[in-house]
């Protein structure tokens, strides 16, 4: 299956370009198809890098543990209902419907990345100009940093679509609170501080915005503010820790540069 995906994805990519060229599909639809193919390619590339350049990274949890749970070699399901174990548990459910393939999970991560980008695009569609919409479409679908980072096998596979769903539901006039609360609960169980950021950002957006049209934008601004407010101290501490000193970042200026790059 992994090799079939690796070979077939560029084929589908070329087919989508051909259909666009012949005007057999709408432009937005064609770009979204290309975006989906690109997200899958980026996720496969990210998985290859994690395996071969970063000594398997966190895949010991997100893939190996998930495979063991699916094969019945893990503990009870109730043992995995918190933190990073939740994505592993959810991945094990995926392995009930397909062989336990690491690159198969990468395809799922690519699809998850696409859903996240598409939901964000739908959320901001109400207040974007036509030109702004096209910029946002190309940015969300094809920016390498977004595509590769969001295509990582792990918590991103479940947190990012949940986040996109929250933004989309937030943009609707008729709020679907049950779905919204479910997405917030999932994010909070995986990463509690991220759930706290979302809840705090929603409260700020509700307090300072009365227009439904501007709700997603207000939520994005407040979430970005809280995220960076909490992110700086942790990043600075990590870059000044012995881990990065051992990597060669010994001087003050080296560490300052490292903080800037990571931020």
Query: pLDDT tens for residues 190-241?
Result: 988 888 888 888 777 777 766 666 666 667 666 766 666 666 555 555 554 5
- Whole-model pTM: value is 0.77
Residue 12 lies in a domain: yes
The whole-number pLDDT of residue 262 equals 40
Residue 140 lies in a domain: yes
Residue 196 lies in a domain: no
- Domain count across the chain: 1
Residue 214 lies in a domain: no
Domain that residue 174 falls in:
2-190
Task: Judge whether residue 79 has pLDDT over 60.
Answer: yes
Q: Please state whether 248 falls in left (phi above 0), alpha (psi between -120 and 50) or beta.
A: left
Taking residues 132-149, what's their average pLDDT? 81
Residue 220 lies in a domain: no
Top pLDDT among 155 and 147 is at 155
pLDDT tens per residue across span 9-45: 666 667 666 666 666 557 778 788 888 888 988 888 8
Number of Cα atoms under 13 Å in the Cβ half of residue 197: 19
Residue 82 lies in a domain: yes
Residue 209 lies in a domain: no
Residue 17 lies in a domain: yes
């Amino acid at each position: 299956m992994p090799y079939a995906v690796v070979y077939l994805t560029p084929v589908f990519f070329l087919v989508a370009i051909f259909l666009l060229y012949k005007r057999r599909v709408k432009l937005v639809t064609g770009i979204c198809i290309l975006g989906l193919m690109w997200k899958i390619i980026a996720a496969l590339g990210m998985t290859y890098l994690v395996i071969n350049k970063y000594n398997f990274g966190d895949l010991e949890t997100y893939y190996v543990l998930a495979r063991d749970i699916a094969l019945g070699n893990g503990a009870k399901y109730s043992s995995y209902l918190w933190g990073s174990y939740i994505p592993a548990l959810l991945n094990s459910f995926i392995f009930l419907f397909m062989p336990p393939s690491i690159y198969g999970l990468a395809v799922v991560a690519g699809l998850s990345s696409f859903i996240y980008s598409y939901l964000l695009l739908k959320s901001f569609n109400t207040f974007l100009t036509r030109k702004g919409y096209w910029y946002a479409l190309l940015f969300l679908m094809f920016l390498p940093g977004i595509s590769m980072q969001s295509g990582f096998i792990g918590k991103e596979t479940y947190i990012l679509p949940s986040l996109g769903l929250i933004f989309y539901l937030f943009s609707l006039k008729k709020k679907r609170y049950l779905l919204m609360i479910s997405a917030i609960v999932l994010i909070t169980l995986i990463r509690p501080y991220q759930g706290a950021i979302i809840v705090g950002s929603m409260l700020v957006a509700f307090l300072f915005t009365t227009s439904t049209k501007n709700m997603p934008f207000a939520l994005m601004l407040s979430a970005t503010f809280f995220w960076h407010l909490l992110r700086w101290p942790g990043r600075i501490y990590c870059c000044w820790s012995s881990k990065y000193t051992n990597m060669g970042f010994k001087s003050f200026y080296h560490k300052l540069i490292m903080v800037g790059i990571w931020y």
